[in-house]
Amino acid sequence: MGAVTPRLLVGLVLAVVVLLGPMSAASASELGDTTDWTDLDGRTWTGDDLDGRVVVLAFWATWCTPCRAELPDLRRLHERFAGDDVVLLGVALDSLERRRLRSFLLRHGIDWPQIHVPRGTESAIARRFGVGSVPATRILDRHGRVVARDLRGRRLEVVVESLRGTDPGR
């Protein structure tokens, strides 16, 4: 059996997404009209802000060793796709006070938007996306539907690349 090429991998991922459809049993858009998340810089993210964009929600916490190990991959993803209709939003499910969380972000070079959710997995956003532990990712297509969960590294990058290349009018 031959090696799996990046082109074949993208094709397989797209086929799975098309055949299985959105992984969520919820409404057509997971974002809906009630999305109202404010990041640490004070920007409020609404469904309208994210509509038509590929969204990666990266749920994590500062105390989580696997989350910290994933940061370089998320940084590369952010650098590669920043400005390409792809939004990476960190969701810090962390009871750390905001000042200390900001300090952590600066020390670790995390410059993508972060939503601070001190209530952790009991928060509305974690419940909405079925997050019971960290790290967790939810990848939403341009229509706000969850199409992949808990991807890491290269697999996450391949799915984002394939979704980024899709026509937003579909």
In terms of Cα–Cα distance, which of 13, 5, 48 is closest to 164?
13
Amino acid at site 161: E
Mean pLDDT for the stretch of residues 14-30: 43
| Token pair belonging to 80 | 């590669």
**What's the pLDDT tens digit per position in 64-108?**
999 999 999 999 999 999 876 999 999 999 999 999 999 999 999
Distance CA 38, CA 117 (A): 10
Confidence of residue 7 (pLDDT cuts 50, 70, 90): low
Q: Identify the pLDDT of residue 72.
A: 95
Mean pLDDT for the stretch of residues 39-59: 92
When the pLDDT of each residue in the chain is averaged and rounded to a whole number, the result is 83
**What's the pLDDT tens digit per position in 143-170?**
999 999 999 999 999 999 999 886 554 4
Distance CA 100, CA 36 (A): 23
* 44-46 vs 114-116, strand pairing mode: unpaired
Mean pLDDT for the stretch of residues 20-30: 45
Phi, psi at residue 50, to the nearest 5°? -100, -15
| Token pair belonging to 124 | 């509305």
